[in-house]
Structure 1
Amino acid sequence: MVQTEKVFIEVDGHQLGMFIETVNEDHPVLLFLHGGPGFPQYPMIKKSELRLEAEFTVCYWDQRGAGMSYNARTQGELTLDKAIKDTLEVTQFLKERFRKEKIYLFGHSWGALLGSVVASRFGEHYAAYIGSGQFGRHNQSNEETYQFLLHTAIEKGDQKAEKDIRAYTFDENFYQSQTYRKILSKYLTKYGGGMKRESYTQWDGLKEWFTCKEYTWGERFNLPKGVFASYDALSETMAKADATLLAPNFQMPVYIFQGKYDYQTSYNEAKRFFELIKAPHKQFYSFDNCAHSPFLEEASRFLSILKEEVLRTPIEKGTGKV
């Protein structure tokens, strides 16, 4: 039987909230870093077939400025450095709580940028880094996205879409453009390059969030505030980031799960990241019919790989070496 616990810890006068789920506290511990930034994925996962708790004690942490961890009075400026510090605080809490020398770190999208940097710089805490919707270079990824949308509109003979897309000229300031964000909102899901290959709209995400009973109503209403605050604070950092420069070396195994149709963090950029990083052991898994969330879209295959390959990779105690 799954045990779900809602936990809060205090970091620098600010409360960080998380859900911890387990069927056996002796299981390995996995810390899930959500994307967005500012968009906790616990409600989405609970509506899916993904059962991470079958193999792990899982911590779904709402990052500073999101959901349970949103408080405009105490959270301060949202930065990558602060997110790194928070991740280490949550990691230390989990290690002490469950008496583990190392835990597993999973990052999705923005969480994959954060997770890559944390795992690369502080490898002594982690048995493996697992990335999905792996972040590479956000500028180049979005340039691919723009071309994907334009070419798809042309192929489909969607003249309205083609006109809308051509009305915007892609440049390095894409993250500041409301026009570009409207294009993404209108056409990325429609053309199967968004959160899922099968249609998954913003409305679907909001519905899952506002019907998730584990959150209070106050925490549910924090979602839009957290998404806007987090994006405003971190969009420039993401737009100018190259994960291969921020996280070039790893002491532990690295596993990347990437959808071929991911145009939020492109397949090509994830592949480049994988090829350039150095790790004692690394594997790249392609999901040919998935977009941004292969761990949800093909949950059974994802879980099988975790069980049969990731958890069976031996770790030399204290070194992270295979």
Structure 2
Amino acid sequence: MSEIKVIEGEVSIDIPAAGKPCKTWYKIFGDLKSGVRPLVAVHGGPGCPHYYLLSLTDLAASHDIPLVLYDQVGTGQSTHLPEKMGDITFWTEELFLDELDNLLQHLGIQEDYALLGHSWGGMLIARHAASQPKGLKQLVLHSAPADMGSWIEAQNMFRLTLPQDVRDILKKHKDAGTMESKEYQAAVQVFYQHYNCRLNPWPEDLVAAFAGLEEDPTVYFTVNGPSEFYITGPLKDWTIVKDAHKIHVPTLLLNGRYDEAQDSVVAPFFREIPKIKWVTFAESAHVAHLEERERYMQVVGSFLTS
């Protein structure tokens, strides 16, 4: 990475309801003026900071693709608003879409850019793409659900594959409303080891991202809920199935064989988006960019430079 130009910065974002100045933190790997279309990577969670996407800097090194990583407001190194815990009128999809537009404008790349979104980030950029912004040229949807009803069905199916004692702990704390307990979170970690990341131990970047989420779970708890399979926030009703056909740019759809985003969860994208290619990573769960890093970069890099 020593040969790649790296710039770190912040951009102010106007959020009147926040009651205080807010900023979006970002980091650029490569030269946005190189003539190569930049890639903006959008993290998941919601509320899981960018650290676990740092491996995407491989694309800057191997394919000369300028890469932009950023933390969504409420996350990582951007402005935090723990006082907005539980406020579903504040943490809206529109807030994060406006933030993305604001960042693109600030960086001056709004006329020509590609987007990669992982999980929740993929949901967000799918909505962005469906509005048909003129500068968006390519889209990578990585382990992103097209409909949260299908996602919840898949997680409930996966939960039944867990050891009985783990399932008992999950049910006990759900019934008692004690899902913030360490015992419950340890049981959730067993689920993650099967269907989020199958590497053991987990890469440091992924550990750091989950630590960031644990440090401030405001966005995740409000928008999603206590866990991947107990969704109580407004995300439970999210869908883009009826609007996916409006995505007209070339799209790469990715998921893993053991992914939380199972085939049934991502398939509507494949059916509805006119120009789309689907690749499933045979040895991966939810983070193929870490689990099958070399092949992932080859697949994504070839798509973006073709």
TM-score calculated relative to the size of structure 1:
0.75
The reply to whether residue 229 of structure 1 matches residue 218 of structure 2 is yes
Q: Which residue among 188, 192, 208 is the counterpart of 1:189?
A: 192
* 1:71 alignment partner in structure 2: 80
Q: Which residue among 1, 6, 15 is the counterpart of 1:4?
A: 6
Using the alignment, how far apart are the partners of 2:11 and 2:187 within structure 1? 36
Using the alignment, how far apart are the partners of 2:186 and 2:82 within structure 1? 33
Q: Deviations over 1:200-254 (max 9, x none)?
A: 66x95675359xxxxxxxxx9x75454x111233222321111323544112111
Using the alignment, how far apart are the partners of 1:200 and 1:245 within structure 2? 40
Seen in structure 2, the aligned counterparts of structure 1 residues 179 and 9 have a Cα distance that, compared at 3 Å, is closer
Structure 2 gaps, min length 5:
15-20, 225-232
Using the alignment, how far apart are the partners of 1:19 and 1:4 within structure 2? 7
* 2:166 alignment partner in structure 1: 161
Conservation of the 8 A alpha-carbon contact between 1:123 and 1:252: no
Using the alignment, how far apart are the partners of 2:31 and 2:290 within structure 1? 20
Seen in structure 2, the aligned counterparts of structure 1 residues 44 and 189 have a Cα distance that, compared at 3 Å, is same
Q: Which residue among 52, 68, 91 is the counterpart of 1:59?
A: 68
Seen in structure 2, the aligned counterparts of structure 1 residues 261 and 167 have a Cα distance that, compared at 3 Å, is same
Q: Deviations over 1:57-90 (max 9, x none)?
A: 1110111111121232999922111111111111
* 1:291 alignment partner in structure 2: 285
Seen in structure 2, the aligned counterparts of structure 1 residues 71 and 167 have a Cα distance that, compared at 3 Å, is closer
5 Å-filtered alignment, 1:1-322, equals 1-12=3-14, 13-22=21-30, 25-26=33-34, 27-41=36-50, 43-46=51-54, 48=55, 51-54=58-61, 55=63, 56-72=65-81, 77-94=90-107, 96=108, 101-150=111-160, 152-153=161-162, 158-164=163-169, 178=179, 182=185, 185-190=188-193, 192-194=194-196, 196-199=197-200, 207-208=207-208, 224-226=214-216, 228-235=217-224, 236-263=233-260, 265-275=261-271, 277-279=272-274, 281-312=275-306
- In the TM superposition, residue 307 of structure 1 has moved relative to its aligned partner by 3.1
State the AA in 1 paired with 2:23. Q
| SS of residue paired to 1:36 | coil
Seen in structure 2, the aligned counterparts of structure 1 residues 231 and 198 have a Cα distance that, compared at 3 Å, is same
Using the alignment, how far apart are the partners of 1:11 and 1:49 within structure 2? 25
| SS of residue paired to 1:139 | helix
Using the alignment, how far apart are the partners of 1:294 and 1:300 within structure 2? 10
Seen in structure 2, the aligned counterparts of structure 1 residues 127 and 311 have a Cα distance that, compared at 3 Å, is same
Conservation of the 8 A alpha-carbon contact between 2:252 and 2:278: yes
Using the alignment, how far apart are the partners of 1:164 and 1:122 within structure 2? 45
State the AA in 2 paired with 1:2. I
Structure 1 gaps, min length 5:
171-175, 211-219, 313-322
| SS of residue paired to 1:257 | strand
| SS of residue paired to 2:285 | coil
Using the alignment, how far apart are the partners of 1:82 and 1:309 within structure 2? 30
Conservation of the 8 A alpha-carbon contact between 1:120 and 1:250: yes
